[in-house]
Structure 1
Amino acid sequence: MTHRPTRADYVAWRTVTTRWRDDDAYGHLNNATYYELFDTAVNAHLYEATGLDVRALPQIGVVAETSCRYYRELGFPAPIETGLVVDKVGTSSVVYRIGLFQGAGDDAAAEGRFVHVYVDNTDPARPVAPVPDAIRAAVLPLLRHAAE
Protein backbone atom coordinates (compact mmCIF):
# COMPACT_ATOMS: atom_id res chain seq x y z
CA MET A 1 0.00 0.00 0.00
CA THR A 2 1.21 3.48 -0.80
CA HIS A 3 1.68 6.23 1.76
CA ARG A 4 -1.61 7.98 2.49
CA PRO A 5 -0.83 11.69 2.35
CA THR A 6 -1.44 13.98 5.32
CA ARG A 7 -1.74 17.73 5.64
CA ALA A 8 1.98 17.93 6.45
CA ASP A 9 2.80 16.79 2.89
CA TYR A 10 1.58 20.04 1.28
CA VAL A 11 2.82 23.62 1.12
CA ALA A 12 0.10 25.90 -0.30
CA TRP A 13 -3.58 25.81 0.66
CA ARG A 14 -6.91 26.91 -0.79
CA THR A 15 -10.45 26.27 0.42
CA VAL A 16 -13.16 25.64 -2.16
CA THR A 17 -16.89 25.49 -1.71
CA THR A 18 -18.70 22.36 -2.78
CA ARG A 19 -21.87 22.70 -4.78
CA TRP A 20 -25.02 20.58 -4.88
CA ARG A 21 -24.26 19.62 -8.48
CA ASP A 22 -20.81 18.26 -7.52
CA ASP A 23 -22.35 15.14 -6.00
CA ASP A 24 -23.30 12.19 -8.18
CA ALA A 25 -26.37 9.97 -7.92
CA TYR A 26 -24.74 8.06 -5.03
CA GLY A 27 -24.36 11.20 -2.90
CA HIS A 28 -20.60 11.66 -3.16
CA LEU A 29 -18.36 13.92 -5.21
CA ASN A 30 -18.37 12.98 -8.88
CA ASN A 31 -15.00 11.70 -10.14
CA ALA A 32 -14.74 14.47 -12.77
CA THR A 33 -15.06 17.09 -10.03
CA TYR A 34 -11.84 15.88 -8.38
CA TYR A 35 -9.97 16.75 -11.58
CA GLU A 36 -11.62 20.18 -11.72
CA LEU A 37 -10.40 20.78 -8.17
CA PHE A 38 -6.84 19.77 -9.10
CA ASP A 39 -6.86 22.11 -12.11
CA THR A 40 -8.25 24.97 -10.02
CA ALA A 41 -5.73 24.49 -7.19
CA VAL A 42 -2.77 24.61 -9.60
CA ASN A 43 -3.93 27.47 -11.80
CA ALA A 44 -5.28 29.62 -8.97
CA HIS A 45 -1.88 29.35 -7.30
CA LEU A 46 -0.12 30.34 -10.53
CA TYR A 47 -2.38 33.37 -11.02
CA GLU A 48 -1.96 34.54 -7.44
CA ALA A 49 1.77 33.87 -7.16
CA THR A 50 2.68 35.47 -10.50
CA GLY A 51 0.07 38.23 -10.71
CA LEU A 52 -0.18 37.38 -14.42
CA ASP A 53 -2.74 35.95 -16.79
CA VAL A 54 -0.84 32.70 -17.38
CA ARG A 55 -2.83 32.15 -20.59
CA ALA A 56 -1.10 35.15 -22.17
CA LEU A 57 2.51 34.10 -21.53
CA PRO A 58 4.77 33.18 -24.48
CA GLN A 59 4.86 29.60 -23.12
CA ILE A 60 1.70 28.04 -21.70
CA GLY A 61 1.25 24.98 -19.55
CA VAL A 62 -0.86 22.22 -21.05
CA VAL A 63 -1.94 19.23 -19.02
CA ALA A 64 0.03 16.19 -20.13
CA GLU A 65 -0.93 13.80 -17.34
CA THR A 66 -3.38 13.53 -14.46
CA SER A 67 -4.26 10.82 -12.01
CA CYS A 68 -6.12 10.43 -8.74
CA ARG A 69 -5.95 8.12 -5.75
CA TYR A 70 -9.16 7.95 -3.79
CA TYR A 71 -9.03 7.19 -0.07
CA ARG A 72 -12.50 8.17 1.14
CA GLU A 73 -15.59 9.92 -0.16
CA LEU A 74 -16.03 13.68 -0.33
CA GLY A 75 -19.28 15.53 -0.92
CA PHE A 76 -21.61 18.48 -0.59
CA PRO A 77 -22.13 20.62 1.53
CA ALA A 78 -18.82 20.79 3.42
CA PRO A 79 -15.96 22.84 1.93
CA ILE A 80 -12.83 21.10 0.65
CA GLU A 81 -9.29 22.20 1.43
CA THR A 82 -6.78 21.67 -1.36
CA GLY A 83 -3.12 21.25 -0.47
CA LEU A 84 -0.51 21.79 -3.18
CA VAL A 85 3.10 20.65 -3.46
CA VAL A 86 5.53 20.38 -6.37
CA ASP A 87 7.51 17.18 -6.85
CA LYS A 88 9.60 18.31 -9.81
CA VAL A 89 10.41 21.39 -11.86
CA GLY A 90 12.00 20.36 -15.12
CA THR A 91 13.17 22.28 -18.15
CA SER A 92 9.73 22.22 -19.77
CA SER A 93 7.43 20.67 -17.17
CA VAL A 94 6.16 20.91 -13.60
CA VAL A 95 4.82 17.95 -11.61
CA TYR A 96 2.27 18.80 -8.90
CA ARG A 97 0.49 16.79 -6.23
CA ILE A 98 -2.80 18.03 -4.83
CA GLY A 99 -4.35 16.68 -1.65
CA LEU A 100 -8.06 17.01 -0.97
CA PHE A 101 -9.27 17.26 2.62
CA GLN A 102 -12.75 17.62 4.06
CA GLY A 103 -13.39 18.04 7.74
CA ALA A 104 -10.95 18.03 10.62
CA GLY A 105 -9.02 14.87 9.75
CA ASP A 106 -5.31 14.93 8.97
CA ASP A 107 -5.42 12.26 6.22
CA ALA A 108 -6.16 13.17 2.61
CA ALA A 109 -9.45 11.97 1.16
CA ALA A 110 -7.82 11.94 -2.28
CA GLU A 111 -4.56 12.90 -3.94
CA GLY A 112 -4.06 13.98 -7.52
CA ARG A 113 -1.01 14.12 -9.73
CA PHE A 114 -1.03 16.91 -12.31
CA VAL A 115 1.69 17.52 -14.92
CA HIS A 116 2.01 20.73 -16.89
CA VAL A 117 4.22 20.67 -19.99
CA TYR A 118 5.06 24.08 -21.39
CA VAL A 119 4.57 24.69 -25.10
CA ASP A 120 4.91 27.70 -27.38
CA ASN A 121 1.71 29.77 -27.05
CA THR A 122 1.75 30.57 -30.78
CA ASP A 123 2.43 26.97 -31.84
CA PRO A 124 1.12 24.50 -29.22
CA ALA A 125 2.32 21.60 -31.39
CA ARG A 126 5.85 22.49 -30.22
CA PRO A 127 5.94 20.53 -26.96
CA VAL A 128 9.29 21.70 -25.67
CA ALA A 129 9.53 25.24 -24.38
CA PRO A 130 11.15 26.42 -21.18
CA VAL A 131 8.98 26.91 -18.12
CA PRO A 132 8.51 30.72 -18.01
CA ASP A 133 10.61 32.48 -15.39
CA ALA A 134 7.51 33.82 -13.61
CA ILE A 135 6.05 30.31 -13.34
CA ARG A 136 9.37 28.85 -12.20
CA ALA A 137 9.59 31.50 -9.47
CA ALA A 138 6.01 30.70 -8.37
CA VAL A 139 6.52 26.93 -8.13
CA LEU A 140 10.06 26.60 -6.74
CA PRO A 141 8.88 27.49 -3.19
CA LEU A 142 6.40 24.61 -3.46
CA LEU A 143 9.05 21.98 -4.08
CA ARG A 144 8.79 19.16 -1.57
CA HIS A 145 12.36 19.65 -0.28
CA ALA A 146 11.75 23.42 0.08
CA ALA A 147 8.92 22.67 2.51
CA GLU A 148 10.96 20.37 4.74
Structure 2
Amino acid sequence: MTSKELKLRKRQDYGYILEYRTRWSDNDMYDHMNNSIYNFLYDSVVNTYLIEKCGLHPPTSAQYGLVVHSHNDYFGSIAFPAVAELALRVNKLGKSSVTYEVALFEKGVEEVKSVGELVHVFVDRDSGRPATAGMNQDLRAGLQSLQVTQSKL
Protein backbone atom coordinates (compact mmCIF):
# COMPACT_ATOMS: atom_id res chain seq x y z
CA MET A 1 0.00 0.00 0.00
CA THR A 2 1.45 3.36 -0.98
CA SER A 3 1.40 6.44 1.23
CA LYS A 4 -0.76 8.15 -1.37
CA GLU A 5 -3.39 5.39 -1.03
CA LEU A 6 -3.20 5.39 2.78
CA LYS A 7 -3.73 9.14 2.83
CA LEU A 8 -7.19 8.52 1.33
CA ARG A 9 -8.37 6.39 4.28
CA LYS A 10 -11.73 7.27 5.82
CA ARG A 11 -13.27 6.25 9.14
CA GLN A 12 -15.67 3.88 7.36
CA ASP A 13 -12.66 1.82 6.19
CA TYR A 14 -12.30 0.58 9.78
CA GLY A 15 -14.45 -1.63 11.98
CA TYR A 16 -13.56 -0.26 15.43
CA ILE A 17 -13.00 3.30 16.64
CA LEU A 18 -11.73 4.41 20.04
CA GLU A 19 -11.61 8.03 21.20
CA TYR A 20 -8.62 9.47 23.05
CA ARG A 21 -8.56 12.95 24.57
CA THR A 22 -5.08 14.33 24.02
CA ARG A 23 -3.18 15.62 27.03
CA TRP A 24 -0.97 18.66 27.38
CA SER A 25 1.98 16.34 27.94
CA ASP A 26 1.36 14.64 24.55
CA ASN A 27 2.59 17.78 22.77
CA ASP A 28 6.26 18.27 22.04
CA MET A 29 8.28 21.45 21.67
CA TYR A 30 6.90 21.90 18.13
CA ASP A 31 3.38 22.19 19.60
CA HIS A 32 2.01 18.97 18.14
CA MET A 33 1.62 15.43 19.42
CA ASN A 34 5.00 13.74 19.72
CA ASN A 35 5.63 10.81 17.36
CA SER A 36 6.16 8.40 20.25
CA ILE A 37 2.58 9.07 21.42
CA TYR A 38 1.22 7.72 18.13
CA ASN A 39 2.88 4.36 18.86
CA PHE A 40 1.51 4.41 22.40
CA LEU A 41 -2.00 5.07 21.03
CA TYR A 42 -1.73 2.36 18.37
CA ASP A 43 -0.76 -0.18 21.01
CA SER A 44 -3.61 1.05 23.23
CA VAL A 45 -6.36 0.73 20.61
CA VAL A 46 -5.19 -2.77 19.64
CA ASN A 47 -5.10 -3.97 23.24
CA THR A 48 -8.39 -2.30 24.12
CA TYR A 49 -10.01 -4.19 21.24
CA LEU A 50 -8.39 -7.48 22.29
CA ILE A 51 -9.64 -7.04 25.86
CA GLU A 52 -13.16 -5.86 24.93
CA LYS A 53 -13.89 -8.08 21.92
CA CYS A 54 -11.52 -11.06 22.01
CA GLY A 55 -11.56 -12.14 25.65
CA LEU A 56 -7.91 -11.25 26.30
CA HIS A 57 -6.96 -10.71 29.94
CA PRO A 58 -3.29 -9.60 29.68
CA PRO A 59 -2.11 -10.71 33.17
CA THR A 60 -3.53 -14.23 32.95
CA SER A 61 -4.48 -15.22 29.38
CA ALA A 62 -2.78 -18.39 28.12
CA GLN A 63 -1.69 -16.45 25.03
CA TYR A 64 -0.63 -12.86 24.47
CA GLY A 65 0.57 -10.82 21.52
CA LEU A 66 4.15 -9.65 21.02
CA VAL A 67 4.76 -6.78 18.64
CA VAL A 68 7.26 -7.96 16.02
CA HIS A 69 6.87 -5.09 13.55
CA SER A 70 5.45 -1.58 13.44
CA HIS A 71 5.64 1.48 11.26
CA ASN A 72 3.75 4.70 10.66
CA ASP A 73 3.05 7.17 7.87
CA TYR A 74 2.29 10.75 8.97
CA PHE A 75 0.05 13.03 6.90
CA GLY A 76 -0.85 15.81 9.33
CA SER A 77 -0.45 16.82 12.93
CA ILE A 78 -2.77 16.81 15.91
CA ALA A 79 -2.26 18.69 19.18
CA PHE A 80 -3.75 19.17 22.63
CA PRO A 81 -6.65 19.74 23.31
CA ALA A 82 -7.90 17.79 20.27
CA VAL A 83 -9.71 14.48 20.55
CA ALA A 84 -8.12 11.69 18.52
CA GLU A 85 -10.19 8.92 16.97
CA LEU A 86 -8.19 5.73 16.59
CA ALA A 87 -9.55 3.45 13.90
CA LEU A 88 -8.61 -0.25 13.76
CA ARG A 89 -8.85 -3.03 11.22
CA VAL A 90 -7.15 -6.35 10.47
CA ASN A 91 -5.41 -6.59 7.09
CA LYS A 92 -3.99 -10.12 7.49
CA LEU A 93 -4.72 -12.98 9.85
CA GLY A 94 -2.31 -15.91 10.06
CA LYS A 95 -2.14 -19.00 12.25
CA SER A 96 -0.52 -17.19 15.18
CA SER A 97 -0.01 -13.68 13.78
CA VAL A 98 -2.16 -10.69 12.87
CA THR A 99 -1.41 -7.54 10.90
CA TYR A 100 -3.37 -4.54 12.13
CA GLU A 101 -3.84 -1.20 10.43
CA VAL A 102 -4.48 1.77 12.69
CA ALA A 103 -5.50 5.22 11.50
CA LEU A 104 -5.55 8.35 13.60
CA PHE A 105 -8.17 10.98 12.86
CA GLU A 106 -8.88 14.22 14.67
CA LYS A 107 -12.49 14.42 15.81
CA GLY A 108 -14.38 16.77 13.51
CA VAL A 109 -11.73 16.63 10.76
CA GLU A 110 -12.27 14.38 7.74
CA GLU A 111 -8.65 13.83 6.63
CA VAL A 112 -6.59 11.08 8.22
CA LYS A 113 -3.59 12.30 10.24
CA SER A 114 -1.58 9.07 10.24
CA VAL A 115 -1.84 5.41 9.29
CA GLY A 116 0.28 2.75 10.91
CA GLU A 117 0.80 -0.97 10.85
CA LEU A 118 1.40 -3.22 13.83
CA VAL A 119 2.07 -6.98 13.69
CA HIS A 120 1.42 -9.24 16.67
CA VAL A 121 2.60 -12.80 17.03
CA PHE A 122 0.58 -14.61 19.67
CA VAL A 123 2.73 -16.68 21.99
CA ASP A 124 1.95 -19.22 24.67
CA ARG A 125 2.44 -17.71 28.13
CA ASP A 126 4.25 -20.79 29.47
CA SER A 127 6.86 -21.01 26.72
CA GLY A 128 7.00 -17.48 25.32
CA ARG A 129 7.11 -19.12 21.88
CA PRO A 130 4.62 -18.71 19.01
CA ALA A 131 1.40 -20.61 19.71
CA THR A 132 1.99 -23.96 18.00
CA ALA A 133 -1.72 -24.67 17.68
CA GLY A 134 -2.35 -21.10 16.55
CA MET A 135 -4.21 -18.38 18.36
CA ASN A 136 -7.15 -19.42 20.49
CA GLN A 137 -10.68 -19.48 19.10
CA ASP A 138 -11.92 -16.33 20.90
CA LEU A 139 -8.97 -14.28 19.64
CA ARG A 140 -9.41 -15.54 16.08
CA ALA A 141 -13.18 -14.90 16.05
CA GLY A 142 -12.79 -11.37 17.38
CA LEU A 143 -10.03 -10.54 14.92
CA GLN A 144 -11.91 -12.05 11.97
CA SER A 145 -14.75 -9.60 12.60
CA LEU A 146 -12.28 -6.74 11.85
CA GLN A 147 -10.61 -8.42 8.89
CA VAL A 148 -10.93 -6.70 5.51
CA THR A 149 -10.94 -8.48 2.19
CA GLN A 150 -7.99 -8.30 -0.20
CA SER A 151 -9.91 -5.93 -2.48
CA LYS A 152 -10.26 -3.41 0.39
CA LEU A 153 -6.57 -3.38 1.32
- The structure 2 residue matched to 1:127, chosen from 130, 134, 145, is 130
Normalised to the residue count of structure 1, the TM-score between the two structures is 0.91
Following superposition of structure 1 onto structure 2, how do residues 1-148 of structure 1 map, counting pairs within 5 Å?
2-3=4-5, 4=7, 5-124=9-128, 126-129=129-132, 130-145=134-149
CA distance in 2, matches of 1:97, 1:75: 22
Q: Is the 8 A contact 2:55 2:138 kept in 1?
A: no
CA distance in 2, matches of 1:74, 1:105: 10
CA distance in 1, matches of 2:17, 2:114: 15
CA distance in 1, matches of 2:149, 2:62: 29
Unaligned runs of 5+ in 2: none
Q: Is the 8 A contact 2:20 2:85 kept in 1?
A: yes
Normalised to the residue count of structure 2, the TM-score between the two structures is 0.88
CA distance in 1, matches of 2:56, 2:71: 27
Q: Is the 8 A contact 2:105 2:113 kept in 1?
A: yes
* CA-based RMSD: 1.7
Residue identity in the other structure for 1:107: E
Q: Is the 8 A contact 2:121 2:130 kept in 1?
A: yes
Residue identity in the other structure for 1:145: T
CA distance in 2, matches of 1:19, 1:135: 31
CA distance in 2, matches of 1:66, 1:112: 7
Q: Is the 8 A contact 2:55 2:139 kept in 1?
A: no
Residue identity in the other structure for 2:130: P
- Number of aligned positions between the proteins: 146
